[in-house]
Amino acid sequence: MKHSAVLRYLFALTLYGTIGLFLHFISYSSEFVVLCRGLLGSLFIFLVLRFRKEKIDRETVGKNLFPLALSGIALGLNWVFLFAGYRYGIAISSLCNYMAPVIVVVITSLFYKERINLKQILCIVMAFIGMLLLLGIFQGNSTVDMRCVLYGSLAAIGFVILVLINRRLQDIRPLEKTLIQLLFSALIVLPYVYFNGGFPKAFDLRSTVLVLILGFLHTGVAYICYFSSIDVLPAQSIAVLGYLEPVLNLLIGALILHEKIGITGIIGALLIILASIGNEMFADKN
Contact 126, 264 (CB under 8 A): no
Question: In the prediction, which pLDDT does 199 show?
Answer: 92
Cα separations (Å) of 75 from 32, 97, 237? Answer: 15, 12, 24
In tens, the pLDDT along 71-101 reads 999 999 999 999 999 888 887 888 788 777 6
In tens, the pLDDT along 207-244 reads 999 999 999 999 999 999 988 887 677 655 666 677 67
Question: In the prediction, which pLDDT does 140 show?
Answer: 54
- Return d(Cα 8, Cα 16) in angstroms, integer: 12
If we measure between CA atoms, which residue out of 276, 256, 73 comes closest to residue 180? 73
Contact 203, 212 (CB under 8 A): no
- Return d(Cα 20, Cα 89) in angstroms, integer: 9
Decide: helix, strand or coil at residue 275: helix
Give the CA angle between residues 190, 216, 44 to the nearest 5°. Answer: 80
One-letter amino acid identity for 129?
A: I
In tens, the pLDDT along 141-150 reads 456 678 888 9
Helix axes of 90-97 and 263-281: crossing angle, nearest 10 degrees: 30
Domain residue limits, the chain: 2-281
What pTM does this model have?
A: 0.79
- Return d(Cα 186, Cα 190) in angstroms, integer: 6
- Return d(Cα 119, Cα 129) in angstroms, integer: 15
Q: What is the torsional sign of CA 236, 237, 239, 243? A: positive
